[in-house]
Amino acid sequence: MQKEYSLIINGEQVAGGRGTFDVINPATEEVVSACPYATVEQLNDAVDAADEAFKTWQYSSDEERKQALHRIADGIEANAAELAEVIVKEQGKPMFLAQAEVGGAVAWTRYTADLEIPVEVLEDSDNKRIELHRKPLGVVGSITPWNWPLMIAVWHIMPALRTGNTVVCKPSGLTPLNTILLAEIISKEVPAGVMNLVTGESGIGSAITGHEKIRKIVFTGSTPTGQAIMRNAAGNLKRLTLELGGNDAGIILPDADVNAIAEGIFQTAFLNMGQTCAALKRLYVHDSQYDQVCEKLVELANAQTVGDGMAEGTTFGPVQNKDQFDLVKDLVDDAKANGASVLCGGQPLEGKGFFYPPTIVANVTDDMRIVAEEQFGPTLPVIRYSDIDDAVERANRCDVGLGGSVWSSDIEGAQKIAQRLECGTAWINGHAEVLPHAPFGGCKMSGFGVEFGQEGLLEYTVPQTLNINK
């Protein structure tokens, strides 16, 4: 029997007050399942439940919350096969990648469970002791995108719970089902009202970001939505963590060993069919190596097996949704019309599904849309440079700054250049790698605040200075 998906409000599974909407499989364009469509009144119920639960959950012991997170990790592990299958069907990525996403969700949950919330002693003298404590904020609203839906929900929810907040999560309407399963797993391990989930689109997102009882929004998604959220969150001065879009540049230095780095470049540019916030999206290559790099990348692209993520042997899935698919197609067509060379791919596959093969575009200039805009899809523009200072300046000439990378055999030289990149994370001989202990976030219009590590954890807290006159 097909599973029925529900909202989760105050520990109960509840049907959507506005009925359901369909979740589409991007590989087949068929309906995966119906998803409940919440009303704004149901969202208000969820926030009320979270607000009520916060009254006691904020005083739960550190140990209690650590144990809860470990039990949640056990629950994710126990349901790993179902979660991975749902991710493939609604998101489109190949099975091995969905399994990696579930594995990442477990690892991040356990890591977050074991983080400590510090108490700093600022003074301890004869007359005075000053301590800096960290308190939870209250109800946290989490709004997630469709590219790594399970992983990003875990990144939002676990640090919120670990620090004693309660949560109302709204996943993307394009990929909500895995997050409903996650919320079911979580709600079994925490008191009613601590974890709530609502699904539905128009009106729900803005009702969350404007809600007077929500104290913080953690949002991962596009820059325009982030700007709308920031405006809407001003009413009660919500704390914000905004993880927004990027247009990451990678620079290959002339001393790099192209054969050694090509695979790393390809994988980090096309990770999740390029639908990764910190994927390599613009590649700057020195004149002396330009043809060799293009040739290697084309070889790797042609070796991919594009198909349904559920099929054996698929290494490359569809684009997640029609809008994104159309955008990628437009950007490649625009580059072609303006004189760029499409070295491989460049045409959607015929038949059902939003399949667009990995596409390498050469002879591009910085002003072409494919370079200037975030593609967030399976295409990589390769851009020529002859002077490294010029390459750095062009890499930085954009209003977002999530990640960046330098590829070279000279680690010290590469580091000097990487530190000049205007981005939240700079990698050397790598890209797009995120780790639970390394703070991750953007600068410029890629947002603010970080996730992961202790810095990320503390974003879910407010400092309280305890000033004791002895």
Least Cβ distance, residue 177 to ligand NAD (angstroms): 14
- In the residue annotation, 423 being an active-site residue is answered as no
CA 119 to chain centre: 30
- Among this protein's residues, is 373 annotated catalytic? no
Query: Least separation, in Å, of the C-beta of 427 and ligand NAD?
Result: 15
Nearer to ligand NAD, 40 or 68 (CB): 40
Contact 132, 120 (CB under 8 A): yes
State the pairing for strand pair 139-143/166-170. Answer: parallel
Q: Which is nearer to ligand NAD, 160 or 244 (CB)?
A: 244
> Which tokens sit at 337?
């019309």
d(CA 337, CA 351): 25
* 146 is a site residue for ligand NAD (CB under 6 A): yes
Residue 252: how many CA atoms within 13 Å on its side-chain side?
29
Verify binding: residue 5, ligand NAD, rule CB under 6 A.
no
Helix, strand, or coil (residue 417):
helix
* Binding letters toward ligand NAD, positions 349-378, x by CB under 6 A: -------------------------x-x--
Stretch 238-257 residues interacting with ligand NAD (CB under 6 A)? 243-246
Does residue 206 interact with ligand NAD by CB under 6 A?
Answer: yes
Q: Minimum Å distance from CB 110 to ligand NAD?
A: 21
Task: Determine if 97 is a binding residue for ligand NAD (CB under 6 A).
Answer: no
CB burial readout 84-107, b (16+ within 10 A) else e: bbbbbbbbbbbbebbbbbbebbbb
Give the residue nearest to ligand NAD (CB).
Answer: 205
Query: Closest distance between ligand NAD and the C-beta of residue 8, in Å?
Result: 16
Residue 381 in the binding site for ligand NAD (CB under 6 A)? no
The distance between the two most distant Cα atoms of the chain, rounded to a whole number of Å, is: 78
Per-residue DSSP letters for 116-139? ----EEEEE-SSEEEEEEEEE-SE
Of 266 and 452, CB closest to ligand NAD:
452
Q: Least separation, in Å, of the C-beta of 120 and ligand NAD? A: 28
Q: How far apart are CA 330 and CA 324, in angstroms?
A: 10
Helix (H, G, I), strand (E, B) or coil at 455: helix
**In this complex, which beta carbon is closest to ligand NAD, that of residue 36 or of residue 75?**
36
Q: Does residue 168 touch ligand NAD according to CB under 6 A?
A: no
From residue 171 to residue 190, the character string flagging contacts with ligand NAD as x (rule: CB under 6 A) and all else as - is -xx-----------------
Single out the residue of 39, 147, 178, 314 in contact with ligand NAD (rule: CB under 6 A): 147
Question: Three-state DSSP class for 276?
Answer: coil
Q: Which of 245, 226, 229 is nearest to 446 (CA)?
A: 245
Nearer to ligand NAD, 201 or 330 (CB): 201
| Span of 26-34, 37-45, 215-223, 353-361 interacting with ligand NAD by CB under 6 A | 215-223
Restricting to residues 260-319, which ones interact with ligand NAD according to CB under 6 A?
Answer: 277
457 near 112, Cβ under 8 Å? yes
- φ, ψ (nearest 5 deg) of residue 286: -65, 145
C-beta of residue 348 within 8 angstroms of C-beta of residue 325:
yes
Closer of 146 and 385 to ligand NAD (Cβ): 146
Q: Is 60 an interacting residue with respect to ligand NAD (CB under 6 A)?
A: no
Burial class of 81 by CB neighbour count within 10 A (0 to 12, 13 to 18, 19+): exposed
The interface with ligand NAD within residues 389-448 (CB under 6 A) comprises: 402, 442
Closest by Cα among 308, 205, 290 to 254: 290
**Catalytic hit among 169, 277, 398, 423:** 277
Stretch near ligand NAD under the rule CB under 6 A, chosen from 120-128, 139-147, 251-259, 408-416: 139-147
**At 239, is the secondary structure helix, strand, or coil?**
strand
Closest CA to 98 of 113, 111, 86: 86
Residues in a beta bridge with 169:
142, 197
Q: How far is the CB of 430 from ligand NAD (least distance, A)?
A: 17
Q: Given 189, 243, 451, 459, which residue is catalytic?
A: 243
Residue type, 117: I
> Is residue 459 a contact point for ligand NAD (CB under 6 A)?
no
Which residues are known to be catalytic? Answer: 243, 277
List contacts with ligand NAD (CB under 6 A).
Answer: 143-147, 170, 172-173, 201, 205-206, 209, 220-222, 225, 228-229, 243-246, 277, 374, 376, 402, 442
